[in-house]
Amino acid sequence: MDTTGQNPSTVYRQGRGKPVFWFLPGLVMLLLFSLGTGQAATIDLEPLVTGLARPVAIAHAGDGSARLFLVLQEGQVLIYDGTEVLPTPFLDIAPLVSCCGERGLLGIAFPPHYRSSGFFFVNYTNTAGNTVIARYRVSADPNVADPASATILLTIPQPFANHNGGQLQFGPDGYLYIGTGDGGAAGDPQNNAQNLGNLLGKLLRIDVDNGEPYTIPPDNPFVGKAGAREEIWAFGLRNPWRFSFDRLTGDLFIADVGQDRWEEVDWQPATSPGGENYGWRRMEGKHCFLPSTNCNDGTLTLPILEYSHEQGCSIIGGYRYRGSQIPWHYGTYFYADYCSGRIWGAREEKSGRWTSTLLLETGLSISTFGQDEKGELYLAHYSESDGTLYRLKGKAPLPPLCNIQMSQPTYRDGDTVTASVVQIANPGPSPLAVEIKVWLESPASELFSVLNRGADGSLLLPPETEKDFGPVSLFRVRPAFARGEYALNCRVLHPITGATLVLDQNRFSLQ
């Protein structure tokens, strides 16, 4: 994390039957009607711990204990057990750490086998200002690490005091991923991020389980390439302060702090073989930096999201939400800005394009996000002496509406079945799928959809969208239709989870 252009010392920021379809023009129109840009907040923050000194990272051990490990920049790791912060630090290596500004103890990661091995890994700047990746081991007391168990895996020289990265994450492949900044100053004067001969401005990937102190995964993209460091997984990064893996898909999100104008989120699918060049210093976000024109020769991987410094100045990457407490945000990627305190949520459209929504204006100095074992999210407010740990909570949006009223209870051959009222609304933050289908009740059989159905048999209702219209001609009664009682069902579904949020039913008969 960094705030170049700001004070550099204040950095910590989802029929059967015959497929007969009729087209409803009004229902298609609802896709074009928007309520506007304002919306009620759908998340809130619950303070859990106050009085923290410079909190910069939050992690869990994946050991079933439900503990959160809180990293303090000056060199301590504290444990929050769900009720309180334990009085004894889990780890204290303050004498080894240079602090503060953009230096300090910056990250911690626990391997998938932590429960059995007791090993964990930290990222800090040593007293010489260089980046150190070290392994430690827990002691006989599960709440206290052994400070004498240190094994240094990597020491990376840092030419300047800023842009030290700091994030550590174990990927779904079991390898350790390390984010490094470009070495600092401004504008990457040494062009480190584009230089495959050093480890600065990169995402590294190493094997910490098969060899001491580590080995190179054989499928790393630059293995055997002359002049390249084989630890490199991706390059062209300025300061990837926080990155994370989608716990469901394995996709990677990298929030890369910008220079003077643009903040960005880079994305890598789980199927990637690595080797992406994310552009810095040739580009800042989707814009040329150095050179100022003709900077992209087609080899660069552009960000999926960006925002200008009118919205903030230092991006804080979060996580794609896969928890259960905020179901309307399932699949949303959360991120924030340290300077403005804004929190956004981004979602991927069917086209593959990502769009963001401003979710909350907090006024906080958000330094990091964290995720617990169940996929619930947390964040930290940075302060020298009064930092705060918050949990993200749901603030339920207004429920969706699906209301259809028939113009008469009985129809005969040749009649047009008509709905006098059709009301569909989605005031929430996530798109919803709408299905309107005709059923013969006995024997139960879905006859057809009265929507112009797509591949998923529904229409997708965007966030903050509503439509009231009627009367609407739904279908004409034909001699082939069985006589009896029918139901016209309107369902609103969450398109990802498949949960039925609204079910409205209106009965009529054919005689």
* Same domain? 482 vs 381: no
Domain for residue 342, yes or no? no
Please check whether residue 108 lies inside any domain of the structure: yes
Question: Are 408 and 308 found together in one domain?
Answer: no
Q: pLDDT tens for residues 342-359?
A: 999 999 988 899 999 999
- ∠ CA 61-115-85 to the nearest 5 degrees? 40
pLDDT reported for residue 26? 28
Three-state secondary-structure class, residue 261:
coil
Confidence of residue 28 (pLDDT cuts 50, 70, 90): very low
Band of residue 101 on the pLDDT scale cut at 50, 70, 90: very high
**Contact call for residues 322 and 247 (beta carbons, < 8 A):** yes
Query: Which residues are bridge partners to 153 per DSSP?
Result: none
Half-sphere exposure of 415 (CA within 13 A, CB side): 15
- Give the residue, 510 or 22, on which the prediction is more confident: 510
* Lowest-pLDDT choice from 172-181, 300-309, 427-436, 445-454: 445-454
- In this prediction, residue 428 carries a pLDDT of 72
Q: 389 and 364 in contact (C-beta within 8 Å)?
A: no
Whether residue 277 lies inside any domain: the answer is yes
Q: Are residues 373 and 506 located together in one domain of the fold? A: no
Q: Is 62 left (phi over 0), alpha (psi -120 to 50) or beta?
A: left
What's the total number of domains in the chain?
A: 2
Write down which residue in 393, 410, 444 finishes a domain. 393
Q: Is residue 220 part of a domain?
A: yes
* Phi, psi at 31, each rounded to 5°: -70, -10
The reply to whether 378 and 471 lie within a common domain is: no
Q: From CA 440, how far away is CA 447, in angstroms rounded?
A: 7
pLDDT at residue 450, as a whole number: 63
Decide: residue 431, CB within 10 A, 0-12 exposed, 13-18 middle, 19+ buried: middle
Q: In this predicted model, what pLDDT tens digit does every residue of 59-94 receive, in sequence order?
A: 999 999 999 999 999 999 999 999 999 999 999 999
For the chain, give me the number of helices (H) and strands (E)?
2, 36
3-state secondary structure of 194: helix
- Regarding whether 155 and 98 lie in a shared domain, the answer is yes
- Cβ-in-10-Å burial (0-12, 13-18, 19+) of 306 comes to buried
> Does pLDDT of 39 surpass 50?
no
Two tokens, residue 494: 């969450």
* Residue 321 contacts residue 329 (beta carbons within 8 Å): yes
Least confident among 179-188, 364-373, 407-416, 482-491:
482-491
Whether pLDDT at 418 is above 50 = yes
Question: Which own/partner contact pairs does 89-95 have at CB distance under 8 Å and 24+ positions apart?
Answer: 89/144, 90/143, 90/144, 90/145, 91/122, 91/136, 91/145, 91/147, 92/147, 93/122, 93/124, 93/147, 93/150
In terms of DSSP bridges, do strands 287-288 and 342-348 run parallel, antiparallel, or are they unpaired? Answer: unpaired
Helix (H, G, I), strand (E, B), or coil: what is residue 379?
A: strand
Same domain, 250 and 376: yes
Q: State whether 474 and 378 are in the same domain.
A: no
How much is the pLDDT for 310? 97
Q: How big is the chain, counted in residues?
A: 511
Q: Are residues 430 and 301 in the same domain?
A: no
Residue 140 corresponds to which tokens in the numbers above?
């006989």
- Average pLDDT value over all residues in the chain: 87
More confident residue, 166 or 22: 166
Query: Which CATH number fits the domain that encloses residue 415?
Result: 2.60.40.10
- Same domain, residue pair 366 and 423: no
Using pLDDT thresholds of 50, 70 and 90, give the confidence band for residue 239.
very high
Asked if 195 and 58 sit in the same domain, the reply is: yes
Does residue 44 sit within a domain? Answer: no
pLDDT greater at residue 38 or residue 441: 441
Q: For position 84, which CATH number holds?
A: 2.120.10.30
The C-alpha atoms of residue 410 and residue 104 are separated, in whole angstroms, by 75
- Sequential DSSP letters for 62-126: SSSS--EEEEETTTEEEEE-SS-B-SS-SEE-GGGB--STT-SEEEEE--TTHHHH-EEEEEEEB
Asked if residue 352 is part of any domain, the answer here is: no
Answer with the one of 375, 393, 411 that is the final residue of a domain.
393
Is 28 within the bounds of a domain?
Answer: no
Q: What is the pTM of this model?
A: 0.78
Q: Is the model more confident about 76 or about 406?
A: 76
- Neighbouring CB atoms inside 10 A of 231's CB total 21
For 262, residues 6+ apart whose C-beta sits below 8 A from its C-beta are 284, 285, 286, 287, 306, 307, 308, 309
Q: Which two tokens stand for residue 158?
A: 């840092």
Phi-psi region of 183 (alpha: psi -120 to 50; beta: other; left: phi over 0): left
More confident residue, 412 or 204: 204
Out of 286-295, 297-306, 360-369, 470-479, which region has the weakest mean confidence (pLDDT)?
A: 470-479
Residues spanned by the domain of 279: 50-317+362-393
User: 185 and 265: one domain?
Assistant: yes
| Res 445: pLDDT | 65
In a domain, 497, yes or no: yes
So what's the pLDDT on residue 355? 92
Percentage of the residues of the chain whose pLDDT score is greater than 70 = 86
Instruction: Give the model's confidence band at 453: pLDDT under 50 very low, under 70 low, under 90 confident, else very high.
Output: very low
313 and 418 in a common domain:
no
Element (H, E) at 26: helix 25-29
Residue 185 banded pLDDT, cuts 50, 70, 90: very high
Query: Can you tell me the mean pLDDT for 376-392?
Result: 98
